[in-house]
Structure 1
Amino acid sequence: MSKRILFTGGGSAGHVSVNMALIPRFIDMGWDVKYMGSKQGIEAELINKLGNVEYISISTGKLRRYFDWENIKDPVRVTKGIIQAYQYIREMKPDVVFSKGGFVSVPVIIGARLNRVPIIIHESDITPGLANKISMPFASKICVTFPETAEHAKDNKTVHVGAVIREELMRGSVIRGLTLCDFTRSKPVIVVMGGSLGSQRMNEILRRNLHHITTKFQVVHICGKGQMDPSYHYREYKQFEYIHDELADILAIADLVISRAGSNSIFEFLALKKPMLLIPLSKEASRGDQILNAQSFKSAGYCEVLLEEEMHDDTFLMAINDVFEQRPDMMERMSKSGSNDAINKVVELIKSISK
């Protein structure tokens, strides 16, 4: 009888990408692979595209750090999700549950613990998110990207594995990328992405300065769902709401990347040796994890950092030019960052826990 694994995690693409890197490995090994997430979250969209993984949706609430009237309803939704997860896991009897975090993972983690199923959690950032903080006491092991994360976990549960990189990103084609964007090799390419949900401020400042930027660069703009603006017509500008299958090809043509500072994304850019301008989420909009991620990469010489509260037209344009001028040095430092075997480490850990 084949082994069974249940993946969970969602709310943003960053809470799904590690799972998507691991899932093909377990399918190839003959495991029965299923995924549990919210009904309408981005995880449902991404996992359903795989085509060969059963997706189970459950009720979930959002773990907010601020007041919202929805906070009154969310405990009911979370409780319902725990009951649904518990019942499904009892029937499925997975050998292990692997969680990437996000608010949808909490009911799944609790449901697995009530069924005495081993749980492995993955934390990408230096400081754990709220969902993972809640889930950590229930976990058998906690995989971390940064060694410093171990300070935030009790007991001896943490395993430093490094960054899990999707293997398909390493197989991008420059020719396919240029064709998709109708670009040429005449100018360097900037890829701008504000995360799966997009960034209104980044979108606005980029578009406001396109007349300057496109004199020197071609720009691929992944602007987020519902944030396309067809009024901008530049030969050197191509915009998408979101890119999945073609992302490897888009990154293959990138000479530099402008991005938020989510851990999964920036480690993927590092693996691809793409110099970065990082614009981390501010402390007002997050717990400050992206600022720590960005500072770590800047210290290593992989990027420049532009804080959102310091971002205006002049500093934005200046930062782009600074990164472009530093490209050779950044790429050399990236090439010395060492190889990463995180996927194999995580796969072996899962196999050992599931015995």
Structure 2
Amino acid sequence: MRRILFTGGGSAGHVTVNTALIPKFRELGWEIYYMGSYQGIEAELIRRLKDVRYIGISTGKLRRYLDWKNVTDPFRVIKGCYEAYRKIKHIKPDVVFSKGGFVSVPVVLGARLNKVPVVIHESDITPGLANRIAIPFASKVCATFPETLEHLPRGKSDLVGAVVREELKNGDAARGLAFCGFTNREPVLLVMGGSLGSQRINGMVRNNLDRLIDRFQIVHICGKGQIDRTLISQRYRQYEYVTDRLPDMMAMADIVVSRAGSNAIFEFLALHKPMLLIPLSKQASRGDQILNAESFEKRGFCHVLREEDMNDDSFVDSILRLYDRRTEIAENMTRHHEEDAAGKVIQLIMDTAK
């Protein structure tokens, strides 16, 4: 039996591509392992999957800003590399597939020390810090955007497109409405701030809740520990994080407000959901979400509201303008040619496996 080891984590965006591919390899009869942090979101999401053996290792976050943990976390990374090396030596996988995130660095290095080939997937236009560290040790690198190839080494980089979870395409709007207690007579606004939540977007929604629920039924996925239990309305539903019900909630949504992480926006594109994208500012990130959002805006898939331009009025006005243009934007999305990215990645992994 052939064996594959997946890695990636720190946020749900570094896990979703893996969860899209895992069922495919299960069908092919591969033995599946996943290596990540002991208690991170990847552990929570992967441990619920059947026929996947989860292996925890020590990890340390790679930060671009000053923090006292920058002194201690490099030692956790070194410890994680040693743990990954030993555990990979025991597992003997044929190939490692890495989605990135800081948890993946020790796994990629441990694989290289065991001479196990590594395939890396980069979702954003420019590679993140973890992938920039790991790419020299990879056999192949997959890109989502054509622009990304300019930032990757020639000869081992392939444009594959966006890998979208198949289960999202099987959502049922009626089930979503019933779960939230909504009616099908009024539009639904879905707000997502990423798996870790966005305090800024959460605050904007809640500051303007009366204005928004006058026009929309709102389902708000706000992040762990960020539910405001003082806000009670039949037209407003809050959830920390959604897994099994997410396809139904996405199916019932007329428009979406979201950050601009690559995995999420390609999922909305595949479902033809008009988006208001509020990318993380350059003060809070390396600017990758800004590039993602600009790329989608040029193709007519979304409206973009810069975080530094966001206030109560601009937030509400942007949502209303998006809703007014929803039909035009959805039609633009239907002209997007969706490739079999998952099939390309699977074939590339199989060709790379030792």
TM norm structure 2: 0.99
Aligned residue in 2 for 1:236 = 235
SS of 2:36's partner is strand
Work out the CA distance in 1 between the residues paired with 2:338 and 2:143: 17
Counterparts of residues 1-355 of structure 1 (less than 5 Å)? 2-355=1-354
Work out the CA distance in 2 between the residues paired with 1:276 and 1:25: 29
User: How far is 1:154 from its partner?
Assistant: 2.1
SS of 2:339's partner is coil
Where does structure 1 lack aligned partners over 5 or more consecutive residues? Answer: none
TM norm structure 1: 0.99
- Read off the aligned partner of 2:64 and give its amino acid letter: R
User: How far is 1:49 from its partner?
Assistant: 1.3
Work out the CA distance in 2 between the residues paired with 1:42 and 1:114: 27
Deviation sequence 1:70-124 (CA, Å, 0-9, x none): 1111111111100110011111110000000000100000000011101000000
- Read off the aligned partner of 2:4 and give its amino acid letter: I
Aligned length: 354
- Read off the aligned partner of 1:287 and give its amino acid letter: R
Kindly report structure 1 stretches of 4+ aligned residues shifted beyond 6 Å: none
User: How far is 1:126 from its partner?
Assistant: 0.1
Work out the CA distance in 1 between the residues paired with 2:202 and 2:57: 33
Q: What percentage of aligned pairs have identical amino acids?
A: 62
SS of 2:325's partner is helix
Work out the CA distance in 1 between the residues paired with 2:42 and 2:234: 34
Work out the CA distance in 2 between the residues paired with 1:189 and 1:52: 36
Deviation sequence 1:227-270 (CA, Å, 0-9, x none): 00111122211110100111000000000000000000000000
SS of 2:51's partner is coil
- Read off the aligned partner of 1:300 and give its amino acid letter: R
Work out the CA distance in 1 between the residues paired with 2:294 and 2:97: 29
- Tell me the C-alpha RMSD between the 2 structures: 0.7
Work out the CA distance in 1 between the residues paired with 2:226 and 2:134: 34
Work out the CA distance in 1 between the residues paired with 2:5 and 2:156: 20
Work out the CA distance in 1 between the residues paired with 2:279 and 2:154: 31
